[in-house]
Each structure stands twice: as structure tokens, then as C-alpha cells.
Structure 1
Amino acid sequence: MTDELTIQLMDTHAGGDVSRIVTGGIEPLPGATVREQMEYLRDDADGLRRLLLEEPYGIPEMSVDLIVPATDPRASAGYIIMEVMGYPIYSGSNTICTATALLESGVVPKQEGHQQFTLEAPAGLVKIDARVENGVVEAITCEGLPSYIDTYRASIDVPGIGDVTYSVAYSGGFYALVDATELGFDLTLDEESRLSACAHRIVEAIQAQRGFHHYTLGDVGPLPFLHFMGPVEAVTGGFYRSRSATYVHPGVICRSTTGTGTSARLALMHHEGRIEPGDRLETVSLRETGFIGEFTGTRQEGEQSVVENRITGKAYVLNRSDVVVNCADPMVDCTSLRHILSSAR
């Protein structure tokens, strides 16, 4: 009997954010839906997330996406998203990476030109449009979650910073949206550590003061995200560009601008009457990578008017590997992991 087991990975990145796609080595999870399987991982098998995001296997700046069989017959596959803050029900960059990995691994057969398929996230079904040129996945467009503004231009006193004006959007998670210029930032790479420290203080202050409730999901926990907004530049008619940076609590500045961060920006621009259906916003990261968000319309969900949107980006495959999980290693905690590893004893 050996304590060595393996997990199959395909590492990818979109906009610089690395998503580790788990393609094998995990037993089928209990749950009638992908959402229920996510809740099982969160409550009874969090060891997989911690293994791949902590030393010696990973770093908190990465994300993990576990491929699972879809429970809805309309979907080609399901996926569960894991990040340093926990288990978001949706993520644009992770969806772009997962869709690319499924195409590159052949789980979803690749077709030249445009092809469409559906994935099942914990948030529900997600429509995917893939553009394949000469056998290469050049772009993935995915639906953003219905997004809306929960709070507009509130003010909070943040220790060490002073009064900060912020808005809060929901776009798959609650985002504090702050003006980078008002806080003295140009959103360049050399500011990364200061951006993280500033965002940490703001998020801690907001969490200490209040919580947020989604109109159908209810209490979804403390505010996890902050998005720094640079000035919006009109590039051409209906196309805008803005430097941006997304922070994930605690302590992570994303390499990309994030899909949900871009969706949050579209919700704010709509709230302020600055965009119309069909308009697009390119968010540009500290590393000069970008996603393009398109505002496609609005709809009413109960008493809440929500923004419909799409996010487009490109993912790259970094490697395919077997990760050896040695439960005898003192740096590896298999307590909440061993029972979901294939061939676990």
C-alpha cells in the first residue's frame, strides 16, 4: 500500500490568471446538481482546494476548476470553481479557461470556426461561444451572470486611508467598486503591492460595517472582492476602455481584470446611464492583458432589474501534468482530501 496518489491537471491562464483544471484523479462527488457537489467539496472535502492553492503545490493567486459530469442533459460538462476566498458560484476567467481546456483535451470535440456548447457551473447553465482558427482556440465568449448595483456611492471611513467612496455590484460575487484616481493610483504594475494593501483595508472596513444579501441567494457571506476603476476612455462609437484591477480578499491582486469584475463595471456604467445595449468595455490589467465585456440588455427578475452581459477572452494551455499527492509528506494535509482521491485507501 502506498500513500502516493495522483491528480491529473491541465494548467491554463486567461489574462495572466492561472486556472488549474483538474481533469482526473477525483472520485465522483455526491450531489444531484453541480451546486450541491460544490457544497459537498466546501463542507466535507476542502482539502483539494487547499492542496492545489497552498505550498508546496501552489500559491493563493491561482484558481482551481474541477471538471465533473454535468447533471443537466443540456450541458457538455460541469465545473466547480475554487479560489483563495472559497467557492465562488461563477467566474469569467475560470469559465474561459475551463472551456478552453475541455476543447484542448477533446472532452468537447473541437470544430473549426465558431462553435457553441453549454457548461454547468454552480451558478447554473452557461452558454459558451468558441472561436477556433487553424485548430487553435482563439477566443471564448461566455455569459456573465445577471449583474446589478446594490449600493451606489456610499462612503466609509477606512483606518489609515480616510473617507472612501464606493459602490457595490453583484456579478457572481459582491464587488466594492472604487475610483483608482481618487485613491492616488494609476493602475500600473509597480503599484501592485500598494493596491493590495489599500484594498485589504477597504474590504476589512466594509465587512466590519455591513453585509450584503442577494435577491434570490440571500446571505452569501462577507464581501470578497474589490475592483479598482481607472478612467473610462471612449475608443470608438460604443467601444470603451478602462484600466482596472481586481482584488480578492485576503491579499490577492488578480493578474487579469476578471470576468466578474468586468461584468460589475458594465452594471455600474448602465446604472449611471453611460452605456447602451451593444456597447462594449475592454478592461485592461496591470499586465496589459484584457477582457471585453458586452452589455446586451436588461431584464426584470422579481423586483430587481439586472444587466445581461457577455465576456470575451483568450486562454492559453501552460502544461499537462500528474500531481503526486504524498499523504506521508508533513507539508501535505490529506485529512479532508484522501476520501475523494481515486483509489484512496
Structure 2
Amino acid sequence: MTFDKALDILLVHCQGESGNVLFNGAPEIPGATILEKMDHLNNVDPSLRLFLTREPRAQVVHTTNLLLAPTRPDADVAFIVLQPDRAHPMSGSNCICVVTALLETGRVKMIEPETVVRLDTAAGLIVARAHCEGGRCLSVSLDNVPAFVQQLDVTIETAKWGRITGDIAFGGVFYAQINVDQVGLRTVPEAARALADAGTEIKSLLAEQVTVNHPEIPGLNEIAYVMFRDYQPDGSVITCTTLKPGRVDRSPCGTGSSANIAILHARGQARTGDKRISRSIIGGTFTTEILGETTIGGRPAVLPRITGQGYVFGRQQLRLDPQDPFLHGFAMSDTWGLQVGEL
């Protein structure tokens, strides 16, 4: 990776989850599609991601969204989610951060009361509808890619908790969703460390025991996250998505909420027009709605809409010094835990 000018970054969060946006200065990324560009960042040259998401310039909780020109004619802009472990195809909270940043910086013209932004992602086209008032982006509704169930009631053999079950579903990435009581925990801030450790361990076991493949997008073939869930009597769900290098999502998780409502639909517990509230471990909320039904590779699927709010709170400018001994960043076990040995 080389670049000869500063990287301009807008600091944004969605319900507490970092979703910074690199909006100027990035080098060209090879690839004819956003999926190919993401694969290049993961498999050929990860240096830009490492520079942006690891110490000393960032911490394990930081995400930077890379803005790109769209590769499809029906999109306004493209983005790739850069996280400390790898580049990911889609994230609901990060998509909300990107749309908020585009509108509040004027990169995309804000039209009140609603601005439509079409986003090219490695998971497909995302249509965002932003509610705008007084020059502010007050909320963003994402018409997400089709969400579908890969398998219900998958058995997972564990040494620590015995045999547990989960549901495997796609909501932009693949999730394993597990009722939190199976690991003897609650979705509360005090349990965040234990939940992160449990999710990390279960994700490793899933890689050995469960195979997934998106029927229409080659290359989307891994369970990205384990999401613990706690269904409430009022129909809402408290979510806790666990991410490498061993942390929990601060937001209610848009792609995870999409996968969740696909699971509820598959179980006959939700239908077109229904809405569900997802609450995060720190109390943030998303609303998930089923807009309609479709099929993906012959599988029943739902068309989910996720609504939430992002907040712009600052700006940052980074520069590359060729003499910097940590151009590719570094990872330490005090924040990464034992996973630092897997790098």
C-alpha cells in the first residue's frame, strides 16, 4: 500500500458502535466488483486495513468503512467494512454510519424529508432511506439484501457447555444465533468479556462442524459471527454479536437482526409487515421489518428493513510516514487475547 496524501476520516458511531468513514485519500483497490476488491484486501494486500484498524492508530473496537466508486450502474456509492480481523461484506450499523456521513458532509445531496442512497456492497445492493430534517440525518432505514435460513436447530458439540443448538442464517453475512442461557450468561454489560470469550470459542467450533455457502454469491462461505440472543416477552430481542478479536457489538447489529427475523419467519413467528425491536447489550435499538418474501437459490427468504440512527462526532486525519516501524500496525494479547497467536 502506498499513498501520497493524508487520509481524511469522519468519526461516526451507530448506537455506540464505531463506524468511522474514510472519505478521502484512499489508494485504488484492484477488482472489477466490490466483492473482488474485498477479496483483494483480504487475500492479496491487507496493508490499508491494517494501517487503519490496528494499533497505534486504532483499537480493536474500531471499524473504518472504505468509500469507493460503485461498480454497478444502479448504485450511488460503494463501501467495504474494514475491521481488525479482515474486510467484511456488509454491516447494518456501519451502513447507517456511512449514509449519515455521506449526507451530513454533503458528499451526497441531502433532500428533506427523505433522501434515498443506493450502496454497492460485496453482499449486494443496499437501498437506504434517510429521514432528514434541519440538515441532520435523523434516522436511516436500510432495505437489506434478502435474508434466509441456512439451517435451524444445528447441534454444536462443545467441551465447556456440552451439546448446544443454534440457528444458521444469512442477513448480509452468515450468523450462528444461539440462546444465551445455553452458555449460562445474560446479555448485560457486566458479562461482555465472558460473552466475547464464549462467542469466540463457539465460532472456532463452528468452523470445524458446520459448512455454509451463499447459493448466489461465491466466496461468502463462512460463519462470520456468533450472536447470542435473549427473546423478551414483548416480542423484542436483546442481541449480543461477538466479533474477533474477542469483543461484542455495541449496536443491536443490523445484519444480525435481519438474520434473526428470517429465523422467526422460518419458524412461523413473523410474517410480511411485522416489525421487531432489537436491543443491544447497552440498550441501543433497531427496528426490523419484513417488507416481503422472495427466494435465494431456491430457499425461502425475506426482504428485511433495518432502521436506526448514526452520529457524527468528529474528524481525523492520518498520514503515512515511510519510516514508521508500525505501518501495518500490531496486535497485543492484552486486547486480542489468545487469538493474537492465530495472526
Regarding TM over 0.5, the answer is yes
Range with greater deviation from structure 2 (54-63 or 43-52): 43-52
Q: Deviations over 1:88-123 (max 9, x none)?
A: 221111111111111011110112211213121122
Distance in 2 (CA, whole Å) between partners of 1:325 and 1:16 is 28
Preserved contact between residue 4 and residue 326 of structure 1 (Cα < 8 Å): no
1:228 is aligned to 2:228: yes
Distance in 2 (CA, whole Å) between partners of 1:138 and 1:166 is 35
Query: Superposition pairs for residues 64-83 of structure 1, below 5 Å?
Result: 64-83=64-83
Preserved contact between residue 49 and residue 82 of structure 1 (Cα < 8 Å): yes
1:307 is aligned to 2:307: no
Preserved contact between residue 99 and residue 117 of structure 2 (Cα < 8 Å): no
Identity of matched residues, % = 26
What does residue 342 of structure 1 align with? none
Query: Superposition pairs for residues 158-307 of structure 1, below 5 Å?
Result: 158-218=158-218, 220-234=220-234, 240-307=235-302
Preserved contact between residue 214 and residue 221 of structure 2 (Cα < 8 Å): no
- SS of alignment partner, residue 101 of structure 1: helix
Preserved contact between residue 54 and residue 84 of structure 2 (Cα < 8 Å): no
How many Å apart are 1:58 and its aligned residue? 0.6
- SS of alignment partner, residue 88 of structure 2: coil
Preserved contact between residue 240 and residue 248 of structure 2 (Cα < 8 Å): yes
Preserved contact between residue 213 and residue 222 of structure 2 (Cα < 8 Å): no
Distance in 1 (CA, whole Å) between partners of 2:59 and 2:162 is 32
What does residue 127 of structure 2 align with? 127
How many Å apart are 1:204 and its aligned residue? 1.3
Q: TM-score, normalised by structure 2?
A: 0.90
Q: TM-score, normalised by structure 1?
A: 0.89
| Aligned partner letter, 2:258 | S
Preserved contact between residue 293 and residue 300 of structure 2 (Cα < 8 Å): yes
Preserved contact between residue 85 and residue 224 of structure 1 (Cα < 8 Å): no
Range with greater deviation from structure 2 (41-50 or 52-61): 41-50
Q: How many residues align?
A: 327
How many Å apart are 1:303 and its aligned residue? 1.5
Preserved contact between residue 216 and residue 296 of structure 2 (Cα < 8 Å): no
1:331 is aligned to 2:317: no
What does residue 341 of structure 2 align with? none
How many Å apart are 1:216 and its aligned residue? 1.8
How many Å apart are 1:218 and its aligned residue? 4.3
Q: Deviations over 1:55-88 (max 9, x none)?
A: 0011122212111112333322111222234222
- Structure 1 residues 48 and 71: alpha-carbon distance in aligned structure 2, compared to 1, 3 A threshold: same
What does residue 339 of structure 1 align with? none
| Aligned partner letter, 2:211 | G
Preserved contact between residue 92 and residue 142 of structure 1 (Cα < 8 Å): yes
Preserved contact between residue 196 and residue 242 of structure 2 (Cα < 8 Å): yes
Distance in 2 (CA, whole Å) between partners of 1:125 and 1:24 is 22
How many Å apart are 1:50 and its aligned residue? 1.0
Preserved contact between residue 38 and residue 88 of structure 2 (Cα < 8 Å): no
Distance in 2 (CA, whole Å) between partners of 1:70 and 1:296 is 25
1:49 is aligned to 2:46: no
- Structure 1 residues 164 and 313: alpha-carbon distance in aligned structure 2, compared to 1, 3 A threshold: same
Structure 1: unaligned runs, 5 residues or longer:
235-239, 335-345
Range with greater deviation from structure 2 (115-124 or 162-171): 115-124
Distance in 2 (CA, whole Å) between partners of 1:174 and 1:168 is 7
Preserved contact between residue 146 and residue 296 of structure 2 (Cα < 8 Å): no
Q: Deviations over 1:9-64 (max 9, x none)?
A: 00101121111211111233333333333233333331111111110011122212
How many Å apart are 1:125 and its aligned residue? 2.0
- SS of alignment partner, residue 48 of structure 2: helix
Q: Deviations over 1:131-151 (max 9, x none)?
A: 012221100011222111111
- SS of alignment partner, residue 214 of structure 1: coil
- SS of alignment partner, residue 103 of structure 1: helix
Q: Deviations over 1:129-174 (max 9, x none)?
A: 0101222110001122211111111222212222211111111211
- Structure 1 residues 76 and 222: alpha-carbon distance in aligned structure 2, compared to 1, 3 A threshold: closer
| Aligned partner letter, 1:28 | E
Distance in 2 (CA, whole Å) between partners of 1:73 and 1:206 is 37
How many Å apart are 1:294 and its aligned residue? 0.6
Distance in 2 (CA, whole Å) between partners of 1:46 and 1:111 is 37
Query: Superposition pairs for residues 20-39 of structure 1, below 5 Å?
Result: 20-39=20-39
How many Å apart are 1:258 and its aligned residue? 1.0
Preserved contact between residue 53 and residue 84 of structure 1 (Cα < 8 Å): yes
Structure 2: unaligned runs, 5 residues or longer:
330-343
What does residue 340 of structure 2 align with? none
What does residue 60 of structure 1 align with? 60
Of 299, 311, 315, the residue aligned with 1:316 is 311
Preserved contact between residue 216 and residue 297 of structure 2 (Cα < 8 Å): no
| Aligned partner letter, 2:215 | Y
- SS of alignment partner, residue 192 of structure 1: helix
Preserved contact between residue 192 and residue 247 of structure 2 (Cα < 8 Å): no
User: Which of structures 1 and 2 has the larger relative contact order (alpha carbons within 8 angstroms, sep 6+)?
Assistant: 1
What does residue 93 of structure 1 align with? 93
- Structure 1 residues 291 and 222: alpha-carbon distance in aligned structure 2, compared to 1, 3 A threshold: same
